[in-house]
Amino acid sequence: MNRLKEKDNRKQKVTEASIYQAIFDSSLAGLFVLDAEGNILKVNAKSERMFGYKKGALLNKNIEIIFPKRFKKEIEFFIKNPPSDPIQILGLDKNGVEFAIDFRMVRTVVEDQTISAVYCKNADLAVFESDRKLRTLVANAPGIVYRCKTDKLWTMEFLSNACESISGYVPEQFYERGNLSWGTLIHTNDRGEVNNERRKAISKKESYQICYRITTATNKLKWILEIGSCVENQLGKVDFLEGFMQDVTNQKEAEISLTKEKELLYKYLETAASIFLVINIDHKITMVNRKACEVLGYEAKEMVGKNWFNHYIPKSQRKDLAQFFDLMTKGKLEPPDFKENWVIAKGNIRKLIRWRNALLKDENGMVTGLISSGIDVTEQVNAERELRASVNKNKAIIEALPDVLTVHDKKGTVLEIHVPDESYLVAPIAEIEGKNIKDLLPKELGDQLKNITQTVLRNQKMETLEVTAPVANGTVDYECRFVPFNKNQVLTIARNISKTKEIQKMLHLRNKALDAAGNGIIIVDAQQPDMPIIYCNNAFTEITGYNREEVLGVNCKFLQNDDRDQEAIVTMVKAIQKGEASRVFLRNYRKDGSLFWNDLSITPLFNENQILTHFIGVQNDVTEIHNAKNQLEQYANKLEEKVANRTKEIEATVQKLVENNLILEDQIQETKLAESEAQRSQAQFNAIAENFPNGFIVVFNADCELVYLEGEELKRMNLNKADFEGKHIDEISIFSKRQIEQVKQDLIKTIAGNSISFEVEFGDFCYAVNTTPLKSEENIVWALFVYNNITEQKNVQEKLAKALKEEQELNELKSRFISMASHEFRTPLSAILSSAILIGKQNEPGMEERREKHVSRIRNHVKHLVVILNDFLSLSKLEEGKVDAKPQYFDLIEYCKIVIDEMESTKKKGQVIKFNHTSAEIPVFLDPKLLSHILINLLSNALKYSEEGNDVVMEIQQADEAVLFKIIDNGIGIPEKDQKNLFDRFFRAENATNISGTGLGLHIVKHYAELMRGTVKFKSKTGNGSTFTVQLPQKLYEHEKNIIN
């Protein structure tokens, strides 16, 4: 019985194995069994026939043999990580013919051995081709198309091939069996924000956009702009995120660079010595700098948003200045070179400001406000008034100290430098920027600057230092201020103090000369009650025996001890009380108590307001002379009485001679002092005029003759004053006739007693000119003209206005691009991905109609996406100048018919494109690609902005040697106010904002037409449609240049 059961069981097993083998051999699909290395262990007859091999020829071969070699990496990856879903790929038969197959692999373990079962069959060619086009489009998109799960690691289900070019990793490394997740690439400082933004979008079931940094396979940082949206399941739960990631590193770095430049500009504004204001057309303040706050006495937050005229202009001038402002902003009046007006500072203090103004405009050229820079000239005006009122003080001095500004990092590398004159530097600016100060300066000075830089960065406080630095023509003394700037940078403001040092040396030399004089000299302070001694020279200490410490701060009466009953002292006191000069002989006593006779001369000193400030005393020890005189008198007394009368007469005569001699000596002394003072004043005036910084001084007499010319600017202008002094204004050749007449008018006004201010241009430089009348004995006989170079200030104003305009344009362009890209890319990408997934799930027989529906949907959205991408690429190439017309000969009529056929999928229900032409053939020599873009764009617009059932007409006419294209529609039309901007990039008409579009099409059409020496015009009315007319030459020769650039 047991033997029968064993026999039956054996029959059953044989029967099951036979059945499985029969199924394996008779399957309509190709079947393979592979080992862990991909070697073929078993293959059925269908597979051998499908790939053209004889029976058994594929056994022990690697599965790679049935695929093209270019798929080797993919097949190796599939063997190690079998795909969970069926894929479509190209197979390769024995004769080398490629064909489309559906491919699926399943891994299992049998008797401790890992094997894989492979299923393959011939693919549906239409679906395969559609899938291939989709994969080609996604693979060549200028960014990463992705789909990920919403788990903790954001596991990727799909990444396009751009992943490798952007991140350095292949997409397979991020899938479930890979060793990476996209989150690990995100910079640690950005990872939290990215996760939060994605979770927030999932919770609200809305799209999101975020910019963050990733670390690539080569350890390089890149900026990524990710635009994503949520994919919900049938229950409304978000299962996946889909979207587009783009490398925006270049744009982000440019944005960061612009931000740094803006910070430097605002840092300069904050340290500038001028007031800066920005006032909108509604009279409100939008920006003030630190100097403006200092002058007006308010903080910036108190001023921004206030009406400038209502709060800071005197009531009597408010209406006129507001009207003047409105006329400038409306273009009815050009901004003057400068304008002065009174403003009201905090505490109701009136200050006079001298302004320079420039209009602010937006990208459309519309005026948005006014930027003004000004200086507080209140004190200057008051000083000028005092100067005019003063008889004896007719000088005009303008101080301008040019500063050298540098920015360097903590290591001492010079990042940026600004200098009014490159002669102040050791080398040209181009050779200094980027170099370390230790390489530019002597070692000791370089180490000193590096140490103070580190101190400033450590303490975050300003430090000052005086240094002597080498320059191109020698050495310069600088007073440097080191200010902390940004995190690890220092702003250095260096002022040339070489002339100050020279003056100090000259004063020191004069003091040395006084110390070397043989006469005793003292100076007392006449404005203090006891008139203390403030200076004495070495001769004084030698004569009196006192040292300086004992003398300074003490009244000089200590020299008389108790011997105060002297007539000379009474005379001296009266002269001092009257502020007059005097000369006396008196008895003085040294420190050791010994008597000496002092021949003392006293001279008062007055300031510019004729107030007595000091007395100068010059003393001579005349003891020996006095003793000799006494001896002579004693000898004379012993003469005989008979000649007494004669002696008395002689003595009387001698006394008169002595008095006359003393008076003469006083006069000589006073004359010498006056001559010395006059020479010193003249030398000081000549030194000031000759070194007048950034300008020059001119003096004319009433006969229009130039009598004096000096100033530092003459050297830069390469002018010699000797060529001009003494000449009449009409004889000065460097002036034009118009300039001579203008100078004469200004001279006449000044001689009449008026002080005027204006600006003139000479060559490439601009000068601010102030004139003042000069008097002699109450009569005006000269006119002083002071020229100050203000070119740098004007350049700063222009640079500021340009920077603000560029910033506004960049911000608006970025906003338009982000808004457009988010809207235009999200919709087609989401539709493409969802349709592709549905195709994968509906890959069974009988589902062809549904698959064709999804394929059609993918085709339409891909076509829309390709149009958008082509617009971006065309715009980029046009701006880079990389597009040239490449003409060919072709028949225009046949060409246009092909273009119209291509528009079939774009037409709405019931729409028809009518083609009207006057000739059967029109041969042309044009660029077919550029012409295709022009016609497709215009026809697409006509169809898109027309309702269903409306016809579109395309007409072609020949005129002379030109061809006219007319595209006519009955659509929504273009509002009149939008027509002037229609060809601007990213511009959309007001009535088209809800219709898909990038705003680039007509911009590119215009440029392409101009590349072929053509024009684009249009006529349109809202609600009545539009007519676009393109005129092109019938023959465009290859040697003609691109006229766009």
Summarize the confidence of residues 434-456 as an average pLDDT: 81
Q: Please check whether residue 334 lies inside any domain of the structure.
A: yes
Among the listed residues 506, 560, 556, 508, the one whose alpha carbon sits nearest the alpha carbon of residue 531: 556
pLDDT tier for residue 408 given thresholds of 50, 70 and 90 = confident
Q: HSE, CB side, 13 Å, CA atoms: give it for residue 934.
A: 29
Q: What is the pLDDT of residue 664?
A: 44
**CA distance linking residue 279 with residue 571, whole number of Å:** 69
Q: Please check whether residue 645 lies inside any domain of the structure.
A: yes
Q: H helices within 554-614, ranges in order?
A: 567-578
Summarize the confidence of residues 432-446 as an average pLDDT: 80
pLDDT tier for residue 387 given thresholds of 50, 70 and 90 = low
pLDDT tier for residue 648 given thresholds of 50, 70 and 90 = low
Q: What is the CATH number of the domain that holds 354?
A: 3.30.450.20
Cα angle 304, 309, 313; round to 5: 110
Is residue 578 domain-shared with residue 613, that is, in the same domain?
Answer: yes
pLDDT tier for residue 474 given thresholds of 50, 70 and 90 = confident
User: Hey, how many other C-beta atoms are within 10 angstroms of the C-beta on 708?
Assistant: 18
Summarize the confidence of residues 97-112 as an average pLDDT: 83
Q: pLDDT at residue 1018 above 90?
A: yes
* β strands within 805-870, DSSP E: none
Summarize the confidence of residues 967-972 as an average pLDDT: 92
Residue pair 620/608 in contact (Cβ under 8 Å)? The answer is no
Considering only residues 925 and 421, tell me which one the structure prediction assigns the higher pLDDT: 925
Is residue 434 domain-shared with residue 469, that is, in the same domain?
Answer: yes
Q: Please check whether residue 934 lies inside any domain of the structure.
A: yes
- The torsion defined by the Cα of 346, 348, 353 and 355, in degrees rounded to 10, comes to 70
Is residue 667 domain-shared with residue 698, that is, in the same domain?
Answer: no
User: Cα–chain-centroid distance for residue 841?
Assistant: 55
Cα angle 166, 169, 172; round to 5: 125
pLDDT tier for residue 862 given thresholds of 50, 70 and 90 = low
User: Hey, how many other C-beta atoms are within 10 angstroms of the C-beta on 268?
Assistant: 17
Look at the block and give the residue holding tokens 């053509």. 1014
Q: pLDDT at residue 818 above 50?
A: no
**CA distance linking residue 8 with residue 119, whole number of Å:** 34
Q: pLDDT at residue 280 above 50?
A: yes
pLDDT tier for residue 1033 given thresholds of 50, 70 and 90 = very high
User: Cα–chain-centroid distance for residue 603?
Assistant: 62
Residue pair 771/750 in contact (Cβ under 8 Å)? The answer is yes
Residue pair 168/216 in contact (Cβ under 8 Å)? The answer is yes
Is residue 365 domain-shared with residue 320, that is, in the same domain?
Answer: yes
Tens digit of each residue's pLDDT (9 = 90 or more) over 477-530: 888 888 888 778 888 888 878 777 777 766 665 666 566 566 788 889 988 988
Q: pLDDT at residue 114 above 90?
A: no
Considering only residues 559 and 130, tell me which one the structure prediction assigns the higher pLDDT: 559
Q: What is the pLDDT of residue 62?
A: 92
Q: H helices within 545-699, ranges in order?
A: 548-551, 567-578, 623-637, 644-690
pLDDT tier for residue 822 given thresholds of 50, 70 and 90 = very low
**CA distance linking residue 647 with residue 1021, whole number of Å:** 130
Tens digit of each residue's pLDDT (9 = 90 or more) over 864-887: 566 666 665 666 666 666 788 889
Q: What is the pLDDT of residue 656?
A: 54
Q: pLDDT at residue 686 above 60?
A: no
Q: List beta partners, residue 241.
A: 148, 230
Q: Which of 248-262, 271-285, 747-761, 854-868 has the lowest mean pLDDT?
A: 854-868
Q: HSE, CB side, 13 Å, CA atoms: give it for residue 628.
A: 4
Structure tokens at 894: 């046949």
* β strands within 702-810, DSSP E: 706-710, 757-762, 765-776, 779-789
**CA distance linking residue 423 with residue 412, whole number of Å:** 22
User: Hey, how many other C-beta atoms are within 10 angstroms of the C-beta on 336?
Assistant: 12
pLDDT tier for residue 854 given thresholds of 50, 70 and 90 = low
Give residue 310's identity as a one-letter amino acid code. N
**CA distance linking residue 32 with residue 43, whole number of Å:** 5
Summarize the confidence of residues 79-101 as an average pLDDT: 82
Summarize the confidence of residues 572-587 as an average pLDDT: 89
Q: What is the DSSP letter of 1043?
A: S
Percent of the chain residues topping a pLDDT of 90: 14
**CA distance linking residue 1040 with residue 1038, whole number of Å:** 6
Summarize the confidence of residues 560-572 as an average pLDDT: 86
Is residue 470 domain-shared with residue 599, that is, in the same domain?
Answer: no
Summarize the confidence of residues 567-571 as an average pLDDT: 88
User: Hey, how many other C-beta atoms are within 10 angstroms of the C-beta on 459?
Assistant: 10
Q: pLDDT at residue 392 above 70?
A: no
pLDDT tier for residue 1039 given thresholds of 50, 70 and 90 = very low
Cα-Cα end-to-end distance for the chain: 103
Is residue 671 domain-shared with residue 718, that is, in the same domain?
Answer: no
Summarize the confidence of residues 790-795 as an average pLDDT: 78
Q: What is the pLDDT of residue 481?
A: 86
Give residue 906's identity as a one-letter amino acid code. T
Q: What is the DSSP letter of 529?
A: T
Contacts of 189 (CB under 8 A, 6+ apart): 213
Tens digit of each residue's pLDDT (9 = 90 or more) over 694-728: 778 888 888 888 888 888 777 777 788 778 888 88
Give φ, ψ of 144 to 5 degrees: -100, 120
Mean pLDDT, the chain, rounded, equals 79
Q: SS3 sequence, 387-441? A: HHHCCCCCCCCCCCCCEEEEEEECCCEEEEEECCCHHHCCCCHHHHCCCEHHHHC
Could you tell me if residue 694 is left (phi over 0), alpha (psi between -120 and 50 degrees) or otherwise beta? left
Q: Which of 657-661, 820-824, 1031-1035 has the lowest mean pLDDT?
A: 657-661
Could you tell me if residue 593 is left (phi over 0), alpha (psi between -120 and 50 degrees) or otherwise beta? left
Where is the domain boundary, 358, 376, 394? 376
pLDDT tier for residue 641 given thresholds of 50, 70 and 90 = low
Look at the block and give the residue holding tokens 């101190």. 455
Q: What is the CATH number of the domain that holds 924?
A: 3.30.565.10
Is residue 531 domain-shared with residue 518, that is, in the same domain?
Answer: yes
Q: Please check whether residue 869 lies inside any domain of the structure.
A: no
Contacts of 359 (CB under 8 A, 6+ apart): 328, 329, 335, 367, 369, 370, 371, 801
Is residue 533 domain-shared with residue 603, that is, in the same domain?
Answer: yes
Q: pLDDT at residue 15 above 50?
A: yes
Look at the block and give the residue holding tokens 């400068």. 338
Is residue 112 domain-shared with residue 65, that is, in the same domain?
Answer: yes
Q: SS3 sequence, 225-239? A: EEEEEEEECCCCCEE
Considering only residues 320 and 830, tell me which one the structure prediction assigns the higher pLDDT: 320
Structure tokens at 720: 């010699």
Model-wide pTM > 0.85: no
Per the document, the length of the chain is 1045
Q: pLDDT at residue 638 above 80?
A: no
Contacts 24+ apart (CB under 8 A), 1015-1022: 1016/983, 1018/974, 1018/979, 1018/982, 1020/973, 1020/974, 1020/979, 1021/973, 1021/976, 1022/972, 1022/973, 1022/974, 1022/975, 1022/976, 1022/991
Where is the domain boundary, 473, 493, 513? 493
Among the listed residues 190, 193, 252, the one whose alpha carbon sits nearest the alpha carbon of residue 215: 190
Summarize the confidence of residues 110-126 as an average pLDDT: 79
Buried b / exposed e over 788-816, threshold 16 CB at 10 Å, is: bbbbebbebbeebbeebeeeeeeeeeeeb
Q: pLDDT at residue 217 above 70?
A: yes
Residue pair 233/249 in contact (Cβ under 8 Å)? The answer is no
Q: What is the tally of structural domains in the chain?
A: 8
Q: pLDDT at residue 133 above 70?
A: no
**CA distance linking residue 585 with residue 902, whole number of Å:** 122
Q: Please check whether residue 20 lies inside any domain of the structure.
A: yes
Q: Which of 683-692, 845-854, 1036-1045 has the lowest mean pLDDT?
A: 1036-1045
pLDDT tier for residue 678 given thresholds of 50, 70 and 90 = very low
Considering only residues 964 and 632, tell me which one the structure prediction assigns the higher pLDDT: 964
Domain that holds residue 445: 403-493
User: Hey, how many other C-beta atoms are within 10 angstroms of the C-beta on 896?
Assistant: 20
pLDDT tier for residue 39 given thresholds of 50, 70 and 90 = very high
Is residue 413 domain-shared with residue 364, that is, in the same domain?
Answer: no
**CA distance linking residue 562 with residue 587, whole number of Å:** 11
Q: Please check whether residue 241 lies inside any domain of the structure.
A: yes
Q: What is the pLDDT of residue 916?
A: 92
Where is the domain boundary, 59, 93, 123? 123
Q: pLDDT at residue 3 above 70?
A: no
Q: pLDDT at residue 176 above 80?
A: no
Q: What is the pLDDT of residue 131?
A: 57
Q: What is the pLDDT of residue 830?
A: 57
Q: What is the pLDDT of residue 673?
A: 57
Structure tokens at 1030: 């393109």
Among the listed residues 482, 473, 397, the one whose alpha carbon sits nearest the alpha carbon of residue 691: 397
Is residue 183 domain-shared with residue 112, that is, in the same domain?
Answer: no
**CA distance linking residue 1037 with residue 1045, whole number of Å:** 18
Q: pLDDT at residue 797 above 50?
A: yes
Q: pLDDT at residue 681 above 80?
A: no
Contacts of 495 (CB under 8 A, 6+ apart): 401, 402, 403, 404, 478, 479, 480, 481
Q: Please check whether residue 211 lies inside any domain of the structure.
A: yes
Summarize the confidence of residues 359-365 as an average pLDDT: 83
Q: Please check whether residue 384 lies inside any domain of the structure.
A: no
Q: pLDDT at residue 397 above 70?
A: no
**CA distance linking residue 801 with residue 675, whole number of Å:** 55
Tens digit of each residue's pLDDT (9 = 90 or more) over 447-469: 888 888 888 888 888 888 888 88
Is residue 1010 domain-shared with residue 906, that is, in the same domain?
Answer: yes
Q: What is the pLDDT of residue 896?
A: 93
